[in-house]
Amino acid sequence: MKSKMLAAALLAVGLAGPALAEVQPPFTLRLSPLGTYQSGLFDQAAAEIVAHDPLGQRLFVVNAASGRVDVLDIRDPAAPALLSSIDLSVHGAAVNSVALHGELVAAAVEARSKTDPGKAVFMDRDGRVLAAVEVGALPDMLTFTPDGRHVLVANEGEPSDDYGIDPEGSVSIIDLPGDIARLTQDQVRSADFRRFDDAELDPSVRVFGPHASVAEDLEPEYIAVSRDSRTAWVSLQEGNAVAVLDIRSGTFSALHGLGFKDHSLPGNELDAGDRDGRIDIRNWPVLGMYQPDAIARYEHRGRTYLVTANEGDARDYDGYSEVGRLGSSAYPLDPERFPEAESLKQNASLGRLNVSRTSGLNPQTGRYERIHAFGGRSFSIWTQNLEQVWDSGADFERITAEANPEFFNSNHTENGLDTRSDDKGPEPEGLTLASLWGRTYAFVGLERAGGVMVYDIGDPHAPAFVQYLNRRDFQAAPGTPEAGDLGPEGLTVIEAGASPIPGVPLLVVANEVSGSTTLFRIDREPLGVAGR
């Protein structure tokens, strides 16, 4: 499965021969930019998450650090314009998420001290605040259930920088009344992880914060909800796990470790160093921790599948950090497991790779028997029970290397070659799915290199690469309008029936670093026509 997928990706970027063309879908998509709204704020989280209002053809865009939600007019999607800004600073500090269902808009607002409870704030489509309730610490993402009866809030519960306070992670379940003005705190339920404190966990579930219980260590990041609104899957990024939430009972029914990605296997190559000044994608004896950020759900032939963007994330605070360089003397490799240890520790090999100092260590010998790196540099498809059916392998690095070889694995705040190879590479973070012309597509944002990967995932066992589009100009200095889009964070697809261009679906991407929100039109074209 992986080899077929990789072959399709290589064909699309001109790295494989025409004999592999049979793995392509019967038609293809072409995405082309329409218009961009520039907030004028660089590296200030001015465009993070985006939600679409089809009734007014508006976008609600999280302007996080400012404590606002910006409302954009997209009746002319080639010229999106700022209509208004909804100031939610009275409810807390940063706005972290926004979602819309019918006439109701919801936003997650972080408290001024991130370890204190945050709020979920409800507004009408004109930005008038109708209700607000308290939720858990650091509400990072929220979503409506498909039936509109609940809002689920992923409360990350990050520790304070000195690690003196470590709130429990949780998911708030807000049971919405018919009249939102009647919403009270009694209609907020909290699902926590205390039942797992003394449970035997899958060994790939990472619980390691200083003196932390399981309930304190697990930090909900993102939520996907079943079509019947009964079940939710919650990504626990730092924990390398996904939890299953029973919405009706308000309890977590299961906790699934995601295992590790073996970068020594063909198809799972990576570029692991930032000091060699070249593209060097190859196999290494490294295990990648998937650690997904965004998670989404879709159906295929009556079965539910989950899709994850395997960004990776470390616990890295003033009071505690798990991050270390593999080449450091503080990271001794077991000579029996790694007879080539001296060579691996060289900067030209794996010496610069950022690794976890808490995973893979044998406490009896004080040596590392497994090398655990952050993130999978990929996206994956799983069954609803979190059994992996497919992973994109090394596609993202290979495709971006072909597209922009002089700026391969560049950071999102500076232009350079190979600057992120030692730390999560292209860093897939945002993700959205859409059903278009009878097929399901995944759109995955690459936080560092920039741009969006588009895949046909109609067959979850054999996805096909469609297009990589990146509206970043590497010749321009980051922080200037000419640089284009930097740091894609939130993505959403406006389906054809809800589009401001009748019959034409659109992709919307909010870019955290450049503070820009860009709309792309999506067209269907015969194979061989769309550009790559």
DSSP codes joined into one string, 449-513: T--EEEEE-SSTTS-EEEEEE--B-TTSPTTSGGGB--SEEEEEEE-GGG-SSTT--EEEEEETT
How is residue 1 written in tokens? Answer: 């499965």
Q: Angle at which helices 395-403 and 2-12 pack, to 10 degrees?
A: 10
How is residue 5 written in tokens? Answer: 């997928």
Phi-psi region of 368 (alpha: psi -120 to 50; beta: other; left: phi over 0): beta
Q: For residue 181, give the 3-state DSSP assignment.
A: helix
Work out the end-to-end distance of the chain between its first and last CA atoms, rounded to an integer number of angstroms.
Answer: 22
- Cβ contact 296:357 at 8 Å: no
pLDDT for res 527: 79
- Cβ contact 209:227 at 8 Å: no
pLDDT for res 24: 52
Which pTM value belongs to this model? 0.94
DSSP designation for 282:
B
Residues 6+ positions from 301 with CB-CB distance below 8 Å: none
- Cβ contact 261:425 at 8 Å: no
Q: For residue 128, give the 3-state DSSP assignment.
A: coil
Instruction: Tell me which amino acid residue 217 is.
Output: D
Nearest to 460 by CA among 376, 375, 387: 387
DSSP designation for 423:
T
The residue written with tokens 């579930």 in the block is 205
Q: For residue 125, give the 3-state DSSP assignment.
A: coil
Nearest to 109 by CA among 126, 131, 125: 131
Residues 6+ positions from 480 with CB-CB distance below 8 Å: none
Residues 6+ positions from 124 with CB-CB distance below 8 Å: 103, 104, 105, 130
pLDDT for res 1: 41
The residue written with tokens 């079965």 in the block is 303
Please state, in angstroms and rounded to a whole number, the distance separating the CA atoms of residues 343 and 326.
11
pLDDT for res 27: 80
Measured at the alpha carbon of residue 478, what is the angle toward residues 279 and 423, in degrees to the nearest 5?
Answer: 40
Q: Is 162 exposed, middle or buried (0-12, 13-18, 19+ CB in 10 A)?
A: exposed
Please state, in angstroms and rounded to a whole number, the distance separating the CA atoms of residues 372 and 170.
26
DSSP designation for 393:
T
DSSP designation for 270:
B
Each of the 532 residues of the chain gets a pLDDT tens digit; together they read 443 344 333 333 333 333 333 345 578 999 999 999 999 999 999 999 999 999 999 999 999 999 999 999 999 999 999 999 999 999 999 999 999 999 999 999 999 999 999 999 999 999 999 999 999 999 999 999 999 999 999 999 999 999 999 999 999 999 999 999 999 999 999 999 999 999 999 999 999 999 999 999 999 999 999 999 999 999 999 999 999 999 999 999 999 999 999 999 999 999 999 999 899 999 999 999 999 999 999 999 999 999 999 999 999 999 999 999 999 999 999 999 999 999 999 999 999 999 999 999 999 999 999 999 999 999 999 999 999 999 999 999 999 999 999 999 999 999 999 999 999 999 999 999 999 999 999 999 999 999 999 999 999 999 999 999 999 999 999 999 999 999 999 999 999 999 999 999 999 999 999 999 999 999 999 876 544 4
Question: Residue-wise over 47-63: b if at least 16 C-beta within 10 A, else e?
Answer: bbbbbbbeeebbbbbbb
How is residue 498 written in tokens? Answer: 């809800």
pLDDT for res 10: 37
Please state, in angstroms and rounded to a whole number, the distance separating the CA atoms of residues 269 and 283.
4
